[in-house]
Amino acid sequence: MEVELGFKNITRYETTLTEFVEHVSQTSAVDVSAGGSYMGFGASLEVNFEDFKGSSSFQSKFGSYQTTLTTGTPSLPEPIGLSVEPMYEVLSSAYWQNTSLLTQHQVCMTADLAMLTAVKANMARAIGDYAAYKLASLPSDPDLKIPVTWPRGTYGLYMARTGCPHSSFPWHQGWLYQDVEDIGATNVFSKSLHLYGQFTTSDNIETHYCIKGTAQATDFDLDWPKGDYCIAKYGACPKGFMQGWLYWNDEDAYNGNKHGGYLPDGVYDENTRIEYCCRNDSLPTIPISLPTESPFYLLRHSRTCQRVQNMNTVEEFVYWDEQYVLISYDIKSGGYHPFDDGNSYNHKLHFCYYTPMPSNDGSDAIIG
């Protein structure tokens, strides 16, 4: 046994597993991997602690301060470290050099000294097999792993034909019926559109919504990850988003607009104004981690659809043929809003439709 003397201070901080995983994903994202199902959820995030220990973020203070442990002082050092060796090392030949003196005083027999190597090997085997003989289990570190849940905050998603996404909370649902141009309407939309509602080229348009009204639904909820995408606004925008809006000039004559249930923030009367939360603080080609149990929609914000870990992505669009006017004086948008490549009279929005990939056992690093 070797003892190191000195003095040492250990400052301890405490945090939850969720906060720790979020901290690592924000400061050393390459050390967080996206994995498969866990605790009944379809996806998970796990910290590779051995890799994280080698990162520059490992020494950063994090969590709430608990206490400081002090051992020794400069003037009165105490043991602060031990180095131990297995007991069969005492039989190494390095410790048995003067064998003639040992046999002369009959401390050891010549035959005993000749068997040192074999005895050492047998002792090492006995120590190695002892745990199995006692049916003892090897200690293991706890998994630094949490399930992927719908992120913190209140917000809305456009509803897919499959309904609202799987979640641990009930989504509030609502619908919006917009009376578009009555004469010669030419709405346009993707042939493979998966939005739930009513979409016809020469009639009105109805969209449906899934609204999350509970800011923190589980102990595992994280903030929305950095990326390039939009969601519908319901209450304050979640952390990291900036708000904006779009305005639809719906039919003037015999306007038939109507709505029901829970809707994104906005104004819903003879015309329509919907508010959104958008962000562009990372590249859309860098995958983010969101629940993978069922299909869902995000809105394209700028460059292309945001990639999501272990989800297939299809970009779809809807073009609203709004009330015809010779000259439009309406302000059609403001702030940060979804990508709109319609024109000064009509909106054309791009919807990012996500469906689960076939399950696999692999995992990939993610950017939080």
190-217 residue pLDDT tens = 999 999 999 988 888 999 999 999 999 9
* Least trusted range by pLDDT, from 5-14, 143-152, 238-247, 323-332: 323-332
Please determine, for residue 227, whether its predicted confidence score (pLDDT) is greater than 50. yes
Task: Report pLDDT for 246.
Answer: 96
Mean confidence (pLDDT) of the chain: 89
C-alpha to C-alpha distance for 156 and 335, rounded to whole angstroms: 18
pLDDT more than 70, % of the chain: 96
Question: What pLDDT sits at residue 117?
Answer: 83
Name the residue with tokens 């102990």: 219
Beta carbons of 299 and 351 less than 8 angstroms apart: yes
**pLDDT band at residue 362 using 50, 70 and 90 as cut-offs:** very low
pLDDT at 62 over 90: no
Q: What's residue 344's pLDDT?
A: 78
**Per-residue pLDDT reduced to its tens digit, 292-320:** 999 999 999 998 999 999 999 999 999 99
Within 13 Å of residue 130, how many CA atoms lie on the same side as its CB? 7
β-pair partners for 241 = none
Query: What are the extents of the domains in the chain?
Result: 2-81, 87-133, 149-365
pLDDT tops 70 at residue 88: yes
What's the confidence (pLDDT) of residue 29?
83
**Assign residue 168 a region: left if phi > 0, alpha if psi is -120 to 50, beta otherwise?**
alpha
What confidence score (pLDDT) does residue 97 get?
A: 75
Task: Among 127-131, 134-138, 223-227, name the most confident range.
Answer: 223-227
Q: How far apart are the first and last CA of the chain?
A: 45
pLDDT at 361 exceeding the cut of 50: no
Question: 327 pLDDT band (50/70/90 cuts)?
Answer: low
The residue with greater pLDDT, 272 or 101, is: 272
pLDDT band at 120 (very low <50, low <70, confident <90, very high): confident
Q: What is the mean pLDDT of residues 20-48?
A: 90
- How confident is the model over 64-89, as a mean pLDDT? 88
Note the pLDDT of residue 111.
77
The better pLDDT of the pair 146, 140 is held by 146
Structure tokens of 1?
A: 């046994």
pLDDT at 366: 53
Burial label for 212, CB within 10 Å (0-12, 13-18, 19+), is buried
Q: What is the pLDDT of residue 194?
A: 97
pLDDT of residue 72 exceeding 50, the answer is yes
How many angstroms separate the CA atoms of 249 and 11, rounded?
61
Number of continuous H segments (helices) and E segments (strands) in the chain: 5, 22
Q: What is the pLDDT of residues 263-285, one digit of tens each?
A: 999 999 999 999 999 999 999 99
User: What's the rounded mean pLDDT across residues 170-198?
Assistant: 91
What pTM did the predictor assign? 0.80
